[in-house]
Structure 1
Amino acid sequence: MTAHIIFWLFLIPLSLINFSTNNFSVNGYYLGHERSLLLHLKNNLIFNPTKSSKLVHWNKSDDDCCQWHGVTCKAGHVTALDLSHEYISNGLNDSSALFNLQSLQSLNLAFNDFCSMIPQELYKLQNLRYLNLSNAGFEGQVPMEISHLKRLVTLDLSSTFTSHNSVKLEIPNIALLLRNLTDIAELYLDGVAIFARGDEWGRALSSLKGLRVLSMTSCNLSGPIDSSLAKLHSLSVLKLSHNKLSSIVPSSFANFSNLTVLQLSSCGLNGYFPTDIFQLQTLKLLDISENQYLHGSLPNFPPFASLHNLNLHNTNFLGPIPNTISNLKQLSTIDLSYCQFNGTLPSSMSELVQLVYLDMSSNNLTGQLPSFNASKKLKYLSLFHNHLSGDLPSSHFDGLINLVSIDLGFNSFTGNVPSSLLKIPCLRELKLPYNQLSGILGEFDNTSLPVLEMLDFTSNNFHGLIPLSVFNLRTLCFISLSSNNFSGTIKLDVIRRLSNLTVLGLSYNDLLVDVNFKDHHDMSSFPKLRILRLEFCKLSGIPSFLKNQSTIISLHLSNNQIQGPIPNWIWHLDSLMNLNLSHNFFTDLEGS
């Protein structure tokens, strides 16, 4: 009995060792075979080895292909292949070794430049669950054979970087492509030419019960949006922008309880937008911009809303901004520009501490500006072309160290320029034109505004001297101080300091602009201007440096005291499109 026990104790480990060895041999055989297929694939692909980060490292001397960049293995088989961003330009056809990798579950060929049809032989990869051919340079008709990949969960055929629809889905149409792909959870067809009516593409999609992500922007889709889409209860992301839907937005969209992203911009939408959609607790991004016939208003936002990004630009939304906008604690981007909103800006906007981008320009908003000093992440603030009024307290902008652009033009703001706006290290654009701001401008500190490119104080009530320190802001490209009450003398050669300057406006003040330069021979140090406005500047002559201005397109020197003949060189400024020399004391044309 003891002998039998000893025998079995010896035999069982031996058999396990033998089984493990056989299993290793089988796996090793398959892996060796698939390694050969990968090398064959590499040898047939045409790619840029200087930019490749994966294929270039596949090496015959390296036996373990599972360690190669872009290759993933499981149980001795290659199960995933990622050749995205490999600068492949050709070499993939129906005879490619790729289609013999029968265990592939994931294939990513995105961001290449194959310049060929999508291979029909893809149908051989029956285990594929993930297929990404986006922005890979494929063209022509989507092959019917893709519809045989019944295990697909993610399909991406999108083409977002081409101006024309190079991939087409006509024969087969979208219904034939999707009829067997019932497991699809994520479908990306952006930029694919589909040319289908609303009922066609709607019903084709409605059979995909587990669909979570649907992205079909710029697909030449027609409307109206079909009611059958309401069956997609699992939908989390819906992107249909840049199609010709000419449709209302179905109220059933408010029943998508998992919806996080809804993008319907530039779709020809009309009717009244369902307010219940705004109140979806899961919704993070809503973009219905560029639908000028779409009407609506903002509801009261619920507490703990998830909205991060709200874009209603160029729609026909109207009414007030609700106080409950402060419930959007995660809001980082809000664009309500070119709408019909009215009423005052609620003071509760001061509580939007995650705000990065705010644009409410071109509306009918009134009242005073709320404080934004708690929005420390704010980079862009635009409220131009409204009816806002009152002073601009400096405290409203304290601590906005990330602000890049502010535009409060075309309102009725009064008082002085907030001193805090002149101390923002990231500020590139400071635009306050067409207000009723007044006072004397203080000195500008180059260290406080090290990257300022645009300074626009046009049409206000500033007076006194223009501080010469403004010409020490070396990064300035655009200066407009026209239509104020500035006085004193400006020597025009001060602009030599501003090598990036392209636009200068000093018109309609009480200035004397001195065009007599110390060095008339060195004109190369002047910046290359495109627009120069010096009307009503008591000029005694045409600035001589303009003779060398090959880039200038608009020159306005009217209502000055320029005498003598108009010089011939002014007719040889090749880029010049607008010239106004009226109301001076010219005698004739030079040489006439």
Structure 2
Amino acid sequence: MELYIFPVLVILSCTSCYLILPVQPLCHKDESIALLQFKDSLTANNSASRGPAAYTKMASWKAVENGTEADCCSWDGVKCDENTGHVISLDLSSSCLYGSIMSSSSLFSLTHLQMLNLADNHFNYSRIPPELGRLSKLTYLNLSSSFLTGLPSEISLLSNLSTFDLGYVNVSSKMPDFLVNLSSLTSLIMRNCGLYGEFPEKLFHLPKIQVLIFQVNSNLTGHFPEFRSGSPLRTLWFSRTNFSGIIPFSIGNLESLEFLSVARANSLQLLDLSNNLLSWITLPKCLENPNNLLSVLSIKNNSFHGTIPQMCLTDRSLLKMIDLGYNQLEGRIPRSLANCQMLESLNLGNNQIRDVFPSWLGQLSKLRLLTLRSNNLQGQLTNLNSTPQFPN
């Protein structure tokens, strides 16, 4: 008899395997209804989205499909939790949506949402509803280029928010202080939002912040703080703002920094990015502005490529020190440097510059230190003992 017991047990065990296979849960009825109501509150308009891959994602949203109740988890742009069936992600970017999002929108009943992307649609300049703060599980929120306006303080309730993109949204307000309460932020993008007032220094020190993008807010004032060691900051983009003061030496503490742009930040007085590993970075266009207030520029010992920008386009430049040594800069030495009448120190050494020896720099009467070593300069050192000559 014992010879027959074992196979019987195996058969029973395998049969039970089929009985406990998990079944993918369908979308919850109330969430399916909420999504369909949100769809009905908007219209499809091909001109509402500008992205090359735009299409009407909501066209696939139907209450009944093939004679049976549709599963909203299979709709375009909708993702559900595999275990609970709750809608956790809604990606309606570039979906050709037109209309206003009201405070009563059924969208705000989807309280399990972790990701919401409404970018590149046209919401008819409606204000961002404060009810957005109900979606407390959001970690990703993208409202960029959506023709929404304003920014309610209830956003500060989104304590789990990691990425927040409001690019090209017409906020048109004083820089919101409540954003400093979003302690989980890693990326905050508010380019061209019509912001004004003082940029809160605490945003630079959020514990997880990696990306701050605020370019094209011309009335946004502020300054760069003393940066702490261990900061995860990777991107600082503040071009075309009204930031002033200096970029502190402590920017060297930002060991993860990959991108810095302060182009047209014309009130900067000191820019020191020396002794880092920077390569993908834009040199400030304010260097080419004759009205900039920069007196010290040091980016030595990095991996910058490209040509040296035209500096000192007029003799009103305040530059006293330029240190571009130990990079991979190419091309010629810009002749506009002859206008740097306040220049005391110029270091272009250890680059890949190809030019003739710049004897014309001898007309800079205050120049005390000139370093050109380890480049590809040609020509003879002549007329150094007669006018024009370098000072002793």
Task: Quote the residue 2:202 is aligned against.
Answer: 301
Distance (Å, rounded) in 1 between the aligned partners of 2:161 and 2:335: 40
CA contact (8 A) 2:60 2:76 kept: no
The C-alpha deviation readout for 1:164-218, integer Å capped at 9, x for no partner, is: xxxxxxxxxxxxxxxxx98211111110011120317x72321110111111111
Query: Which residue does the alignment assign to 1:562?
Result: none
Conserved 8 A contact 1:379-1:404: no
Structure 1 position 433, deviation (Å): 5.7
Q: CA deviation at 1:269?
A: 2.1
1:162-561 pair list within 5 angstroms: 183-199=86-102, 203-222=105-124, 223-245=126-148, 247-291=149-193, 293-301=194-202, 303=205, 305-326=207-228, 329-369=231-271, 371-385=272-286, 387-392=292-297, 396-401=298-303, 409=311, 412-415=317-320, 418=323, 420=325, 423-425=326-328, 436=340, 448-449=351-352, 462=361
Match of 1:143 among 39, 44, 60: 60
Alpha-carbon contact 2:156-2:179 (below 8 Å) kept: yes
TM-aligned CA deviation for residue 287 of structure 1 = 0.8
Deviations 1:268-309 (A, max 9, x none): 221223122145221111111022x32242223275621111
CA contact (8 A) 2:236 2:259 kept: yes
Question: Judging changes above 3 Å, is the alpha-carbon distance between structure 1 residues 204 and 361 closer, same or farther for their aligned structure 2 residues?
Answer: same
2:236 partner SS: strand
- The residue type paired with residue 210 of structure 2 is H
Instruction: Give, in whole Å, the separation in 1 of the partners of 2:295 and 2:11.
Output: 88
Check whether the contact 1:301–1:324 (CA below 8 A) recurs between aligned residues: no
Q: Distance in 2 between matches of 1:239 and 1:296?
A: 24
Shift of 1:22: 6.8
Q: Indicate the RMSD between aligned Cα atoms, in angstroms.
A: 4.7
SS in 2 for 1:388: coil
Question: What SS is found at the alignment partner of 1:301?
Answer: helix
Q: Report the counterpart of residue 35 of structure 2 in structure 1.
A: none
* Aligned CA distance change for structure 1 residues 196 and 243 (closer, same or farther; 3 Å): same
Find the structure with the greater CA-based Rg.
Answer: 1
Of the three residues 68, 73, 94, the one matched with 1:152 is 73
Q: For the residues of structure 2 that align with 1:272 and 1:429, how far apart are their CA atoms? A: 44
Equivalent residue letter for 2:340: Q
Structure 2: distance between partners of 1:390 and 1:380 = 20
2: CA distance between counterparts of 1:429 and 1:203?
60
Inter-CA distance 430–359: structure 2 relative to 1 (3 Å threshold): farther
Higher strand share: 1
Q: Is the Cα contact below 8 Å between 1:384 and 1:409 reproduced in 2? A: no
Amino acid at match of 1:229: L
Q: Deviations over 1:513-570 (max 9, x none)?
A: xxxxxxxxxxxxxxxxxxxxxxxxxxxxxxxxxxxxxxxxxxxxxxxxxxxxxxxxxx
Identity percentage of aligned residues: 17
Aligned to 1:262, the other structure's residue is in SS state strand
Q: Would the alpha carbon gap of residues 211 and 428 (structure 1) be closer, same or farther in structure 2, given more than 3 Å must change? A: farther
> In 1, distance between residues paired with 2:5 and 2:333?
82
Partner-residue secondary structure (3-state), 1:414: coil
Count of residues paired in the alignment: 325
Unaligned runs of 5+ in 1: 1-6, 28-73, 80-102, 106-133, 159-180, 456-460, 474-486, 489-592
Classify the secondary structure of the residue corresponding to 1:271.
Answer: coil
Secondary structure of the residue that 1:368 maps to in structure 2? Answer: strand
Structure 1 pair 308–419 and aligned structure 2 pair: CA distance change class (3 A): closer
Shift of 1:414: 3.2
> Compared with structure 1, are the counterparts of its residues 270 and 433 closer, same or farther at alpha carbon in structure 2 (3 Å cutoff)?
farther
Cα distance in 2 for partners of 1:391, 1:404 equals 20
Give, as a single letter, the amino acid of the residue that structure 2 aligns with 1:231: R
Aligned to 2:32: none
Unpaired runs of 5+ in structure 2?
A: 27-50, 364-371, 384-392
Shift of 1:440: 12
Structure 1 pair 104–379 and aligned structure 2 pair: CA distance change class (3 A): same
Opposite residue 399 of structure 1, the aligned amino acid is N
SS at match of 2:90: strand
Cα shift readout 1:479-499 (whole Å, capped 9, x = no counterpart): xxxxxxxx99xxxxxxxxxxx
Tell me how far apart the structure 2 counterparts of residues 259 and 140 of structure 1 sit (CA, whole Å). Answer: 25
Name the SS for the 1:340 alignment partner: strand
Deviation per CA, 1:290-340: give whole Å up to 9, x if none. 22x322422232756211111111114433314245478111111111122
- After superposition, the Cα gap between the structure-2 partners of 1:294 and 1:327, relative to the gap in structure 1 and judged at 3 Å, is farther
Give yes or no for contact 2:244–2:268 (8 Å, CA) kept in 1. yes
Output the CA distance in 2 between the equivalents of 1:403 and 1:139. Answer: 43
Structure 1 pair 350/140, CA: closer, same or farther in 2 (3 Å)? Answer: closer
Q: Evaluate the alpha carbon distance shift between residue 409 and residue 262 of structure 1 in structure 2; reply closer, same or farther with a 3 A threshold.
A: farther
**Is the contact between residue 150 and residue 182 of structure 1 (CA under 8 Å) also seen in structure 2?**
no
Aligned in 2, Cα 1:364/1:356: closer, same or farther, shift over 3 Å?
Answer: same
What secondary structure, in the 3-state scheme, does the structure 1 residue paired with 2:257 have?
coil
Does structure 2 retain, via aligned residues, the 8 Å contact 1:284–1:308? yes
